Amino acid sequence: MIKQNKIIIDEKQAGIRIDKFLAKKFTEYSRSFWQSVIADGFVLLNKKNKSAHYKLKINDIISINFKEVDKIFKKREISLKPDKKIKFKIVFENNDFIIINKPVGLVVHPTESCPKNTLVNGLLAYYPKIKNVGDNFLRPGIVHRLDKGVSGLMIVAKNQESFLYFKDQFGKRKIEKKYLALVYGKISKDSGEINLKIGRNKNGLVTTGMTGKYKEAKTLFSVIKRFRNFTFLEAQILTGRTHQIRVHLKAIDHPIVGDNIYFLKKYQKFNIFGLKRIFLHSYKLEFADKTGEQFNFEKKLPPELKEIIEKKLC
């Protein structure tokens, strides 16, 4: 991957701590990792060493020695070793891409907190040629992600041309992704749009907000069925922000069942049927490939979620 070795700070970036800025810009590295390489002198500010808590100013120049940064990072037990023990289901594949059904509990790519046993490790065991596909060596073939606790459909590119095509299509919002979710409370509207900006607060938690650091985010929803204390719905994201559906549904007072990060205390009294995961499933993908051929994939709820809808809520 070609990385930006020099970054000139503009007015939107000014005022942010340098370690926070770098962790947000280069998400494969954690904030603590940036703190360590800053301390080691591999990140310079205006050609000088600065502490990790330095607050950036307009026209500051950050210089990063990525050759050393990546060398250090790879030594921290991050593994891209192919692993056939990693299980995932292939829904469809051709010469350009793979559609997989990601199981719940599987992390998509290696990170410092989860250095191995990821989907990428499994993909490399069966598709070794994707090793050099993409723009990040830790995410070969990965054009979009699902959270560890979320199951469902994902696209994986098998070559660089397809990777760039799908990345562009996601950027232009031409790939339709739909999810199924069970939320707390009754949503009165049959359908609606949540248009609230999303970003990270001072504690690093993704939330809604109005300041310049928060980015536009839009989520569409439509009610499938209402229950006594719950609503089963379909959600579609028009932007690709981190935890977007989860944050947006909490913001309108209807957090997703089983979400242990974005929840409201008032709903904890309700029984969630012993569910050990978030009730969020990526069930539908619609797109055209680079030749213009249309594709439509659907994957029904996994058994543990289907049982709740069909048996425990009826």
* Phi, psi (deg, nearest 5) at residue 65: -90, 85
In this prediction, residue 96 carries a pLDDT of 97
Side-chain-side CA neighbours of residue 178 (13 Å): 20
Could you tell me the pLDDT band of residue 30, with boundaries at 50, 70 and 90?
confident
Give the model's pLDDT for residue 189.
Answer: 94
Question: What is the model's pLDDT at position 2?
Answer: 47
Which residues neighbour 284 within 8 Å (Cβ) at sequence distance 6 or greater? 153, 176, 177, 178, 296, 297, 298, 299
Q: Which residues, in sequence order, are CB contacts of 221 under 8 Å at separation 6+?
A: 187, 191, 192, 193, 194, 233, 234, 235, 236, 249
The CATH fold of domain 6-75:
3.10.290
Domain boundaries, the chain: 6-75, 89-171, 176-312
Q: Among 20-29, 30-39, 68-77, 219-228, where is mean pLDDT lowest?
A: 68-77
Alpha-carbon distance of 90 to 31, in angstroms, equals: 34
Q: Is the pLDDT of residue 37 over 50?
A: yes
Same fold, 89-171 and 176-312: yes
Looking at residue 23, what is its pLDDT? 87
Active site residues: 147
Coil, strand or helix at 178: strand
Can you give the length of the chain in residues? 314
CATH 3.40.50.300 fits 89-171, yes or no: no
Domain 176-312, architecture per CATH: 2-Layer Sandwich (3.30)
**Residue 115 contacts residue 74 (beta carbons within 8 Å):** no
Lowest mean pLDDT, pick from 183-187, 220-224, 233-237, 240-244 = 240-244
Angle between helices 31-39 and 18-25 (to 10 degrees): 120
Alpha carbons 104 and 181: distance in angstroms, whole number: 14
Confidence check: pLDDT of 35 > 70:
yes
Per-residue pLDDT, 4:
63
- In percent, how much of the chain has pLDDT > 90? 62
pLDDT (mean) for 47-63: 92
